[in-house]
Structure 1
Amino acid sequence: MMLEPNADSWYAPITWRDCSGEFTDIFYHKSADGIAKITLHRPQVRNAFRPLTVKEMMLALSDARYDEGIGVIILTGEGEKAFCSGGDQKVRGDYGGYQDDGGAFITSTYSIFNARFAPAPNRSWRWWPAMPSAAAMSCI
């Protein structure tokens, strides 16, 4: 008789410490095992990012990057419909930029490069459809 493997017993449970602070567009967690997890938290718009989302991701990525106890960064999305649908078009102004960017031109590119050059390996959990800019994040 062959025993069927039970996926639940393959991995030890991870205890996450909430490091989100005042973040509203992302959840940021760390584990004692050296894992940082950034979760896009805008499921009502399929995790589309806006300037605030990018700013929060940059802060979380910087924190994980300089934390010597972090060895892996996981990027994932909240909800069941999408990892990230790209930039939130509802918050773009008439000139094509974001209405709440405070005059600064913020793109997801900086966030992508910040993640790309972090010393910790990056892994994206992309189980759902992703738009091109979000797909770029999943390739880091």
Structure 2
Amino acid sequence: MYDTILFEVRDRVARITLNRPEARNALSDAMTAELLDALAKADVDDAVRVIVLTGAGDRAFCAGADLGGLGAKQAAGGSVTDGSAIRESAPFRLFTAIPKLGKPVIARLAGHAVAGGLGLAASCDVVVAADDVTLATPEVNVGLWPMMIMAVINRNTAPKHAFRLYYTGERISAAEGYEIGLVSEVVPRADLDARVDALARAIAAKSPLGLRRGRRAFFAIEGRPLEDQVEHLLGELVALAATEDAKEGITAFLERREPDFKGR
């Protein structure tokens, strides 16, 4: 049981809901700790193949750091000079934990994603947003800068788009978020749940072993020279081809039936 989030597993999908709607689902220390715990549980649960992250209500997916709970230094994400303290901080642990997961993560945006909330959404593999949702990095308006989330946003959008967000703090629409690479899909609000559910089911039907190794390979090659990337990926392909899931997938394709993946 959690105090600040909701967690449920159904039909091979773990749904984690930030549950502080009265605070626009702002990330307090307690919520971050519970979110990290829920993500870890979902990652090791064989009954889970996909993780959906969302926020309670339709006002906000997440408003970022709870300045009253985390304090300005942690919210700035770079004010502490002690390296060990930074690595133990809630923002550091959260934004570095998600890429290490072995399962796909879908962000469902029924509400606005701002500051650290936008960083949290951008950390997910796929972002599906209602068409009336907005995105922003308003830290500059209070004399801060989106330090922690810049590491995530810069991986998703071009510098010219990123700097405009950082310098102005202006809100952009979900449609513009899609255009600059921060959002995967924009759907009418009435269709949001159906689309997220359909996407989660489709991904959950794939080989969990293939998904895990593929996701980890994606992050492992980042920033490496082309030759190193190809070498690493070829090794991963050979290893995957030898698995039971790959053999089952190829056999099912040849027999024109749906594969029955076991994660082996």
User: What is the TM-score when the length of structure 1 is the normalising length?
Assistant: 0.72
Question: What is aligned with 2:73?
Answer: 96
CA apart distance, 1:74: 0.4
CA apart distance, 1:127: 2.6
**Aligned AA for 1:34?**
R
The answer to whether the 8 A contact 1:116-1:122 is kept is no
1: CA distance between counterparts of 2:35 and 2:94? 7
User: What is the TM-score when the length of structure 2 is the normalising length?
Assistant: 0.40
Report Cα offsets for 1:61-118 as digits up to 9, x if no partner: 000011122110000000121000001112245x7359xxxxx652233223322221
Percent of residue pairs identical: 28
SS in 1 for 2:106: strand
Runs of 4+ with deviation above 4 angstroms: none
- Within the alignment, does 1:119 sit opposite 2:113 as a pair? no
Give the number of the structure with larger relative contact order, counting CA–CA contacts within 8 Å between residues 6 or more apart. 1
1:72 to 32, 50, 58: 50
**Aligned AA for 2:31?**
T
1: CA distance between counterparts of 2:22 and 2:59? 9
2: CA distance between counterparts of 1:136 and 1:97? 15
Report Cα offsets for 1:103-139 as digits up to 9, x if no partner: x652233223322221110000013211131112112
2: CA distance between counterparts of 1:111 and 1:64? 15
The answer to whether the 8 A contact 1:51-1:106 is kept is no
Q: Looking at CA atoms only, which structure, 1 or 2, has the larger radius of gyration?
A: 2
2: CA distance between counterparts of 1:112 and 1:92? 15
RMSD: 1.9
2: CA distance between counterparts of 1:37 and 1:25? 14
- Within the alignment, does 1:50 sit opposite 2:33 as a pair? no
- Within the alignment, does 1:30 sit opposite 2:9 as a pair? yes
More helix by share: 2
In structure 1, the gaps of 5 or more residues are 1-20, 99-103
2: CA distance between counterparts of 1:109 and 1:97? 9
2: CA distance between counterparts of 1:97 and 1:123? 26
